[in-house]
Amino acid sequence: MNCTYTYPTGYQIEKVFWTETLKGDESPDLSNDPEYSQRLQYLGDKQQNCTVRLSHVTLKDSHMYYFRFITDKADGKYTGKPGVTLNVTDLQVESPERVTEGDSVNLRCKSSCALTDRATFIWYRNSQPLTERRDRNNELLLQSVRREDSGRYSCAVDGHTHISPAVQLNVMYPPVKPVISISPSGVIVEGDSVTLNCISDSNPPAEISWIKGGTIVGSGRIFNISKISSNDSGEYKCKSINEHGEKYSDTVTLNVMYSPRNVSVSISKSGVIVEGDSVTLNCISDSNPPALNFSWFKENETSAVGSGQSFSALQSGRFYCQAHNQHGSQRSDAVTVTVHHVAGGNVIVITAASGGLFIIIFIIIILFILKKQRNVKAEDLTVKENDLYSDASQSISVHDKPLSELDSANDTLYASVKPKRFRGSPKTPESRDTEEIQYATVQHNRKTKTNRAEENECQYDDIRVHQPDAAVR
């Protein structure tokens, strides 16, 4: 835009500039405006020439421009009026701002220039020409628009180098099925940090929710678990949703590995174990993967006394197990195995932390001993009865002596036991029941030497006892 100016003699020019707004002293210098600073170039001077060049003009540049200069006098501020009117003609693409996938869209190339009827329009998407679309009319029809049709569209007239400003065609569509990625991939060990990323394609961008076993546990495209634990193991999926629809991802499984824990010893038998039985101790642990290696130790000993998940204890002591997998190991608390030596063999007593169990076992041991003592007494009684029966078959007689030789005794007891048996018949249980044993006692009481013979008293008792059967003796 060519321009000249004059000013009164004796004035000195201090500042010259172009503006598009007249606000007195507040009129801005276009060279300081970001919209113009890179495109506006002042070609004049501070004497008479005020020419300016504006590059890369667009339709927005269409308005009035003014030239101003300021002198060293207080009243020496001038503006060129009227200003210069700039009219810009251009090609413009008319397009709806938002369309939904499946809709039909009509783009139009509009120009303020006078074009001939033979003019051919060329269409561009993302600066690449759509060679298949060279139309004599100025419209571009997209039937059943797809998400791939999104982009920046512009147009031009064939034979001219000028291309219209690009317009964004924004095709909306529901989420496609999201995909989950896990970082780091591979084995996950308790204590690691794990990140789940939900990759979803949608327009507008979808809202992401994270679901574990039917419960929402997080939101956002990235779900991070710091210091993961076994409680975080399980199945995860993400949901992608926007105003046009929703989709779920496939399920992914987090399998958190950890070393053995909660290791304990279980006892297959409890209470009193008679010698010859075995006491089996089982090692129980919680680990992932399951522990396959087990070692058994006797307390206060460094060398292992056994291996495997089960161990047979044959001696007294405190025993514990240690479970191993590739991520670590842990030992159990010790249990006590006690071998008591009693008559009739060894009794093995297994005690743990329960004092009540020990009391019950002790009572059982006492009852066991008492029972054996009763059996011994019963055997002794049977032997004595047999001896008594043998003695009873013999005759015990009193020596025949004059009574005068026995005067020195006040009371003398004589006994004659003679069993009477049916002879000539076999000895059977029925015949034993009919056996008769005769007991005869003679008691002679001598009061004084002066008593008469008539006063001597002799008592005779004939006692017959039927011997019962041996089963109820």
Nearest by Cα to 3 from 67, 91, 54? 67
Are 451 and 439 members of one domain?
Answer: yes
Are 55 and 101 members of one domain?
Answer: no
What mean pLDDT is reported for the chain?
Answer: 76
Final residue before a domain boundary, out of 127, 151, 172: 172
262 located within any domain: yes
SS3 102: coil
Are 68 and 98 members of one domain?
Answer: no
The residue to which tokens 């292992």 are assigned: 304
Are 187 and 236 members of one domain?
Answer: yes
5 located within any domain: no
pLDDT band of residue 209 (cuts 50, 70, 90) is very high
Task: Give the gyration radius of the chain's Cα atoms.
Answer: 62
Are 283 and 335 members of one domain?
Answer: yes
Cis peptide bond N-terminal to 129, omega within 30: no
- pLDDT single digits (tens) 236-245: 999 999 999 9
Q: Which domain holds residue 285?
A: 258-357
205 located within any domain: yes
Residue type, 110: K
Are 334 and 266 members of one domain?
Answer: yes
- The values of phi and psi at residue 23, to 5°, are -135, 40
Final residue before a domain boundary, out of 325, 357, 389: 357
CB neighbour burial string for 345-360, b if at least 16 within 10 angstroms, e if fewer? eebbbbbbeeeeeeee
Are 296 and 341 members of one domain?
Answer: yes
Are 288 and 335 members of one domain?
Answer: yes
Mean pLDDT of 111-137: 77
pTM as predicted = 0.51
- Distances from the Cα of 57 to the Cα of 40, 85, 231, angstroms: 10, 13, 64
pLDDT at residue 206 above 90? Answer: yes
DSSP 264: E
Token output for 254: 């987090």
Count of domains forming the chain: 5
239 located within any domain: yes
397 located within any domain: no
Are 250 and 304 members of one domain?
Answer: no
Inter-residue contact 331 to 261 (CB < 8 Å): no
pLDDT at residue 89 above 50? Answer: yes
CATH of the domain at 264: 2.60.40.10
pLDDT at residue 461 above 60? Answer: no
310-313 and 279-288: which strand pairing?
antiparallel
d(CA 17, CA 67): 6
Hey, how many other C-beta atoms are within 10 angstroms of the C-beta on 370?
10
Are 334 and 268 members of one domain?
Answer: yes
Final residue before a domain boundary, out of 63, 85, 107: 85
Are 108 and 146 members of one domain?
Answer: yes
Are 237 and 297 members of one domain?
Answer: no
- The values of phi and psi at residue 197, to 5°, are -120, 125
363 located within any domain: no
